[in-house]
Every structure is written in C-alpha cells, then in structure tokens.
C-alpha cells in the first residue's frame, strides 16, 4: 500500500483497470476531500454530499477505462464529479439549494479592528452566501467553481462542457445579479439603521 502512494494518478488508474482494488482505494484517498467539498458546496447538506461523493466514486470506478492517461487526471475527475452533482441538482429543481452554511468567503471587512468589525464581516459574508443561494443554477455553479474552488475560466468551461464565452457571460451575469441582490439587501439594512437613529 505504501508503494501506491508514490505512483502517479495515471499509473494508479492503469492498475485499477487491471483489477487492483488497492489502487482504487488510493485514488479515493487522494481525492475524497475535494470531491466531498464540491458536492457539499453545491447541495449544502452533509448526508447528500456524502451520498453524492459515493455516487461520484462509483461513477469514477465504472468509467476509469475511458480515462486518457495523456491528459491530467484531476480535471477529468472534476468534470465527472460536476456531472454527477448537476444530475442531482436537476432532479430536484423545486428545492432551494442554499449555500449559506457552506461557503466561507475571506472576510470582506478587515479583521484588524475590534469585535464590531468581526461581526460586521460575518454579517456581510452571510449576505453574500444568501445571495449566491438565490442564484439560478446556471449562474450559481460557475460562481462556486470560480470563486470558491478557484478554478480558471477555461477549467470551468472544460468541466461544464461549455464554450469559454458562455462561462464568461454566466460569470459576468451571475456577478451582476449578486451585486443587485446585495445592494438591495444592504440598502434595506442602511434604511433600517437610519430609522433607528
């Protein structure tokens, strides 16, 4: 098992295709955190994310024979994981899929101040999370992949199997929707503050 840790992903895939179950366990070990993180950020439920992770690794096992060892493994796995997540999201379109408990943005308010700055920062983060949760799926998924998973536009285009221009448009429109929702919420909050004073 220790020798497997030193193999490349492509070498492990070749072993799995040849029937080596320990090699598959090593692949799962390498990628389970990223796979779970993606699933959790998209469905905002631990049990659902665990179920999705299992589905993703089952799908991975079934499709390893299609992997091209000349290409990097992790983007290929990411695309497969996103496809499983998309299928799950599409099965329940009526459900709200809030990301508000999952997404950890870096503080938008500097934390070098006192407790007030800290709580203000947490409030802003909560507003951003809620605004993302309200986005339609076609904007929410690219926003999560870009700003939470730190993927490039090209990686997102590859994963979603869409033209780069479509991803650019969705990110642009998604950010515009976010700004609009946030400005409305912040405006209401400011009016509330003024009415108190």
CA angle 134, 32, 40 (to 5 degrees): 15
SS3 18: coil
Of 92 and 191, the structure prediction assigns the larger pLDDT to 92
Domain 1-97 has CATH 3.20.20.70: no
pLDDT tops 90 at residue 44: no
Give the pLDDT confidence score for residue 138 in this predicted structure.
86
SS3 152: coil
Q: Which two tokens stand for residue 67?
A: 């992997």
| Pick from 82, 77, 74, 100: nearest CA to 39 | 82
pLDDT tops 70 at residue 96: no
Q: Which two tokens stand for residue 74?
A: 């992790």
Of 136 and 109, the structure prediction assigns the larger pLDDT to 136
Q: How far apart are CA 27 and CA 16, in angstroms?
A: 9
3-state secondary structure 110-133: CCCCCHHHHHHHHHHHHHHHHHHH
The domains of the chain are located at 1-97, 98-197
pTM for the whole structure = 0.64
Q: Which CATH class is domain 98-197?
A: mainly alpha
Give the pLDDT confidence score for residue 83 in this predicted structure.
84
pLDDT for 22-37, tens place per residue? 999 999 999 999 999 8
Residues 117, 109 contacting (CB under 8 angstroms): yes
Give the pLDDT confidence score for residue 147 in this predicted structure.
81
Q: How far apart are CA 104 and CA 21, in angstroms?
A: 35
- Which residues touch 51 (CB under 8 Å, ≥6 apart)? none
21: Cα within 13 Å, side-chain hemisphere: 1
Q: How far apart are CA 43 and CA 123, in angstroms?
A: 22
């Amino acid at each position: 098992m220790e020798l497997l840790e030193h193999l490349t992903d492509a070498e492990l895939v070749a072993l799995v295709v040849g029937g080596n179950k320990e090699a598959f366990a090593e692949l799962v070990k390498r990628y389970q955190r990223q796979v779970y993180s993606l699933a959790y950020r998209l469905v905002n439920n631990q049990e659902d994310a665990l179920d999705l992770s299992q589905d993703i690794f089952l799908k991975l096992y079934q499709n390893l024979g299609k992997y091209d060892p000349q290409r990097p493994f992790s983007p290929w796995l990411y695309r497969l994981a996103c496809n499983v997540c998309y299928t799950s999201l599409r099965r329940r379109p009526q459900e709200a899929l809030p990301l508000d408990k999952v997404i950890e943005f870096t503080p938008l308010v500097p934390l070098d101040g006192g407790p007030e700055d800290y709580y203000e920062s947490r409030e802003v983060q909560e507003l951003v999370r809620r605004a993302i949760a309200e986005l339609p799926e076609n904007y929410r998924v690219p926003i999560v992949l870009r700003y939470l998973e730190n993927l490039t536009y090209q990686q997102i285009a590859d994963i979603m199997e869409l033209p780069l221009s479509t991803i650019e448009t969705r990110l642009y429109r998604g950010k515009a929707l976010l700004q609009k929702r946030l400005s409305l919420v912040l405006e209401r909050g400011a009016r509330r503050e003024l009415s108190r004073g």
